[in-house]
């Protein structure tokens, strides 16, 4: 793809998105709640596509396609465990979060935990955990864009330029009108992602089978588990944090505040489900199909798995290549801006407002916008260091966030537990996840994420049994 | 939760070592079936 065409396509995408973001300002009421949660005024379409575009990211287009290409069908199982886990958790927990927002006006997900466990220290520790954990995830999105742009333009768009463009756009679309600009651009981006994804899969199938037949069985060990990559331990380790993603990742938890009614939220769950299933099956099938075409000699052998999609983009007809690149950019930006916005709300509410209750709404919005800028800079620096595979970075983030799972589940089903059980669970779970990740140890042969979950749960239950229940616990369990 | 357990158990036992579209189809169909189940339950 020529550099001029690529820049032009990216330019058109940015202009359309920025116009949408700008027009969304008319919906924004100038208060903190509306800036971060839309004041609970999103309809079904906006809620669904915003949730889908935020949760599905460059990880899908770049990471998952490459992973399916190199490691096989276990990739589909891994991503569909996330899908089923999310539907399961959303069914039970989404209405409870929505009711909490509606009744008590919570803005950040960490604020809910502070209230339930009776101390601002809980919200502050969850916020610090999220700030540390989500930088690798955000960076992985930007890296995805940079790889795609580099590959699709045959290297004429440098990695660093693509990183800067992606971050600048995410920053712009977050700052303009908060969740309104993020949500409405998510709709635009979500449609591009699914449309482009499906078109590419169909095109590749027609193109490839015109030269060689595609036969699943010819892929051999890539079509079943266990194989050389997908041992049961690996599958369990990668799917555990993924299963709890909808509870532990604040950018998606905060989306549960946005629907205007329970009916809109139910619609959100169903439409997200249809979108997610279609998208997941398509991109993993694409990866497997490309491996089949490599074996058939019509698609080059790609050794570095994150380069599979960029290599494909370089081979597609110009119009589809441009559309594919824009889809990767859309997938990344829709996730990064959501993360940055949520982290900004947590910083404002749980690190500043919690300790300075007199902070005016105007000051909160200023701090929020400044935080968005600082986070964007941090994310850029991390991405420019090219720290690793996209899937690995994404799973690392969710692993570090996993210690929140017992806290969130316990919040709705158990009256025991207070500030000590909550804060020590976060600290202990994070320490276990970080230590096992860096030492690569698997004590007793159990995977890192299982250890994190076991230790976090034991610490939570153990200390909660010794601690007096908090006064406000009943309003959470009675929801 | 049974659905999730099946998603772990079936491909690693009954479908283990069988080349072809079976694991792919199993995961796709069970996820689709769960989506239909959620749709029905949520509409009640």
Q: What ipTM score was computed for the predicted complex, to two decimals? A: 0.97
Q: Do A87 and B38 touch (CB under 8 A)?
A: yes
- The whole-number average pLDDT for the span A294-320 is 93
**Closest-CA distance of chain B to residue A57, Å:** 20
Q: Which tens digits make up the pLDDT trace of A1-20?
A: 577 888 898 899 999 999 99
What is the per-residue pLDDT for A1?
52
pLDDT band at A283 (very low <50, low <70, confident <90, very high): very high
- The whole-number average pLDDT for the span A161-186 is 92
What is the per-residue pLDDT for A6?
82
What is the per-residue pLDDT for B44?
79
Nearest to A72 by CA among B10, B11, B35: B11
Q: Do B18 and A224 touch (CB under 8 A)?
A: yes
Q: Work out the mean pLDDT of chain A and round it to a whole number.
A: 92
**Closest-CA distance of chain A to residue B6, Å:** 10
* Separation of alpha carbons A141 and A405, rounded Å: 24
Look at residue A317 and tell me whether its pLDDT is greater than 90.
Answer: yes
Q: Which tens digits make up the pLDDT trace of A68-116?
A: 999 999 999 999 999 999 999 999 999 999 999 999 999 999 999 999 9
Task: Identify all chain B residues contacting A231, using CB atoms and an 8 Å cutoff.
Answer: none
Nearest CB partner across the interface for B35, out of A277, A285, A288: A277
What is the per-residue pLDDT for A396?
83
pLDDT band at A381 (very low <50, low <70, confident <90, very high): confident
**Closest-CA distance of chain B to residue A124, Å:** 32
């Amino acid at each position: 793809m020529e550099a001029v065409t690529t820049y032009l396509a990216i330019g058109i995408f940015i202009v359309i998105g920025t116009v949408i973001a700008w027009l969304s300002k008319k919906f924004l009421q100038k208060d903190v709640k509306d800036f971060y949660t839309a004041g609970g005024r999103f309809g079904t379409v906006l809620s669904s596509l915003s949730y889908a575009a935020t949760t599905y990211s460059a990880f899908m287009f770049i990471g998952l396609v490459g992973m399916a290409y190199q490691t096989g069908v276990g990739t589909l199982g891994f991503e569909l465990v996330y899908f089923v886990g999310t539907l399961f958790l959303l069914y039970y927990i989404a209405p409870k979060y929505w009711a909490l927002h509606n009744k008590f006006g919570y803005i950040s997900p960490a604020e809910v935990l502070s209230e339930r466990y009776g101390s601002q220290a809980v919200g502050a520790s969850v916020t610090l955990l999220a700030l540390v954990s989500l930088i690798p995830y955000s960076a992985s999105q930007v890296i995805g864009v940079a790889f795609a742009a580099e590959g699709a333009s045959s290297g004429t768009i440098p990695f660093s330029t693509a990183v800067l463009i992606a971050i600048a756009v995410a920053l712009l679309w977050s700052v303009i009108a908060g969740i309104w600009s993020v949500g409405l651009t998510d709709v635009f981006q979500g449609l591009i992602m699914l449309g482009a994804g499906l078109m590419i899969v169909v095109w590749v199938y027609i193109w490839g089978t015109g030269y060689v037949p595609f036969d699943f069985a010819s892929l051999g060990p890539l079509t079943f588990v266990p194989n050389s990559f997908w041992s049961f331990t690996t599958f369990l380790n990668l799917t555990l944090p993924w299963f709890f993603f909808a509870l532990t990742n604040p950018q998606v938890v905060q989306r549960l505040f946005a629907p205007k009614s329970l009916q809109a939220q139910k619609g959100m769950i169903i439409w997200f489900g249809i979108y997610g299933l279609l998208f997941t099956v398509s991109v993993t099938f694409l990866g497997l199909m490309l491996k089949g075409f490599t074996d058939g000699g019509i698609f080059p052998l790609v050794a570095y798995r994150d380069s599979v999609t960029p290599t494909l983009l370089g081979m597609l007809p110009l119009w589809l290549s441009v559309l594919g690149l824009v889809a990767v950019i859309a997938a990344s930006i829709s996730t990064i801006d959501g993360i940055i916005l949520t982290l900004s709300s947590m910083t404002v509410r749980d690190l500043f407002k919690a300790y300075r209750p007199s902070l005016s709404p105007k000051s909160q919005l200023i701090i929020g916008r400044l935080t968005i800028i600082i986070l964007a800079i941090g994310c850029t620096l991390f991405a420019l260091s090219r720290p690793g595979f996209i899937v690995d970075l994404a799973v690392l983030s969710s692993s570090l966030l996993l210690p929140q799972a017992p806290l969130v589940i316990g919040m709705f089903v158990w009256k025991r537990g207070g500030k000590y059980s909550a804060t020590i669970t976060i600290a202990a779970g994070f320490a276990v996840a970080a230590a096992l990740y860096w030492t690569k140890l698997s004590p007793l042969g159990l995977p890192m994420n299982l250890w994190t979950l076991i230790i976090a749960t034991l610490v939570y239950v153990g200390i909660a049994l010794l601690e007096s229940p908090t006064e406000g616990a009943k309003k959470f369990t009675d929801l | 939760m049974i659905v999730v357990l099946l998603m772990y158990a079936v491909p690693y036992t009954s479908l283990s070592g069988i080349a072809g579209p079976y694991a792919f189809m199993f995961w796709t169909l069970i996820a689709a079936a769960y989506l239909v189940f959620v749709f029905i339950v949520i509409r009640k």
